[in-house]
Amino acid sequence: MEVKRRSSIQIIGEILSLCQKPAKRTRIVYGTNINFQLLQNYLDLLMGQGLIQENADGTFVTTEKGSGALNQIQNIQLVIFNTA
C-alpha cells in the first residue's frame, strides 16, 4: 500500500479553509491530521505572511489576503490534480 504524502501547499490550503470560520488549534489539528508542533510551524508562517490572524479568544481566522491565497491554491489544485 502506497502512502500518499501531502505537500506543504495542500496543508496550508486545508488550514486556510478550516479557518474561514474561527477555529481553535485542536479543531485545526484534527481537521488537517497534523500534530500540534507541525501546526504551530504553519501558524507562525501563515501569521507572519498575514494570511491568518489569532483572535483574542484563541481562535484563528483566515484574513482577506488568506482567502485570496486559498482561491489561488484551489485553482492550482484544480488545474494540476483535477481536485479542489
The model scores a pTM over 0.75: yes
Write down all domains in the chain, each with its CATH number in brackets: 8-78 (1.10.10.10)
Confidence of residue 4 (pLDDT cuts 50, 70, 90): confident
How confident is the model over 17-41, as pLDDT tens digits? Answer: 999 999 999 999 999 999 999 999 9
pLDDT of residue 80: 85
Is 70 a residue whose pLDDT tops 70?
yes
**Which residues, at least 6 apart from 37, have a Cβ–Cβ distance to it below 8 Å?**
none
**Inter-residue contact 37 to 54 (CB < 8 Å):** no
